[in-house]
Amino acid sequence: MPKLNTVLITGSSEGIGRSFAEIYAKNGHDLVLVARNKAKLEEFAQELKAKYGVNVEVFAADLIPVDAAQKLFTAIALKEIQIDILVNNAGMMQVEKLSLSDPQQLNNLLQLNIQSLVNMTQQFVKPMLARGQGKIVNVGSIASFMPTPNFAAYGASKAFVLSFSEGIAEEFRGTGVTVTCVCPGMTETKMLSHADGFEKFIPKFLKADPMELAAQAYKASMKGDVVFLDKIANKLLVQWATHYPRWMVRGVNGLFARFK
């Protein structure tokens, strides 16, 4: 049994979260799976139990309401499950000009990508700090490093995730709790295929396989890396975005957005 045994993964019915669940299970961790679709989670839990012989609990929850993290924490505590690793993966993207965006959807995005991630971290890190061990894994994006016209709120939410993760990584230094911000580039999931035709402009070599991403991110978090980027192309893009003047990065991204 791994020292940090039980992992809670949000958004684990699909995509990157589902791949994270598979990788943690493969490494012998017990799991707590969270997403809205209970039937899908239960079916996946059975599959993981049979394949890897680990314990898997399922909590169906919408993480958008402001009290969602608190309710989930209470429900898990009632079952006397100790969470050793928290993977804040659930997120949503809306590719749409700001003026045309549905305000409710925009609110949901900010609630899920920002507020819920902060609330989940605050709830679950307290017992980890008290025990002197634990891990937080937050899923950001390469968009964390640059503005993203046509989906500006999404990019800004991911910039928040990176800044927040780096901030708390330093805050928790020396406590036994580490924080890793996983910043994927384009990854082949439902989110990308639903992104308003965005996917067809991305060459195949730039798209990551979610299982490969999750396997590498797992190792990075186990080592205690604070920021993790997969793929050379993503690392180069982030080098460019962080070392060139902001007007240039902004302008080039704006040009791509207008071209699309």
Ligand X SMILES: NC(=O)c1ccc[n+]([C@@H]2O[C@H](COP(=O)([O-])OP(=O)(O)OC[C@H]3O[C@@H](n4cnc5c(N)ncnc54)[C@H](OP(=O)(O)O)[C@@H]3O)[C@@H](O)[C@H]2O)c1
Which of the stretches 76-84, 121-129, 164-172, 185-193 binds ligand X when contact is defined by CB under 6 A? 185-193
Query: Would you say 18 or 29 has its CB closer to ligand X?
Result: 18
Catalytic choice (52, 154, 218, 244): 154
Among 72, 168, 186, 214, binds ligand X (CB under 6 A): 186
Please, what is the minimum distance in Å from the beta carbon of residue 238 to ligand X?
12
Report 201-260 residues binding ligand X (CB under 6 A).
none
CA 8/CA 22 separation, integer angstroms: 12
Which of 6, 189, 234, 253: binder of ligand X (CB under 6 A)? Answer: 189
Stretch that binds ligand X, among 8-16, 24-32, 96-104, 220-228 (CB under 6 A): 8-16
Q: What are the start-end ranges of the E strands in 49-140? A: 56-60, 85-88, 134-139
| Residue 111 CB burial class (10 angstroms; 0-12, 13-18, ≥19) | buried
Angle (deg, nearest 10), helices 15-26 and 38-52:
30
Q: Give the long-range contacts of residues 243-249, CB within 8 A, separation 24 or more.
A: 249/146, 249/147
- Minimal distance in Å, beta carbon 130 to ligand X? 27
Instruction: List the 6-10 sheet strands across, edge first.
Output: 56-60, 30-35, 6-10, 85-88, 134-139, 177-182, 227-228
- CB closer to ligand X out of 46 and 132: 46
Contact between 191 and ligand X (CB under 6 A)? yes
Pick from 54, 58, 112, 137 the residue near ligand X by CB under 6 A.
112
Half-sphere exposure of 159 (CA within 13 A, CB side): 13
Per the annotation, the verdict on 154 as an active-site residue is: yes
Among 115, 141, 178, 180, binds ligand X (CB under 6 A): 141
Q: Give buried/exposed letters for 83-97 (b at 16+ CB in 10 A, else e).
A: bbbbbbbbbbbbbbe
Tell me if 35 contacts ligand X by CB under 6 A.
yes
Tell me the three state secondary structure of residue 6.
strand
**Does residue number 184 form part of the binding site for ligand X (CB under 6 A)?**
yes
- The contact set with ligand X (CB under 6 A) reads 10-17, 35-37, 40, 62-64, 89-93, 112, 139, 141, 184, 186-187, 189-192
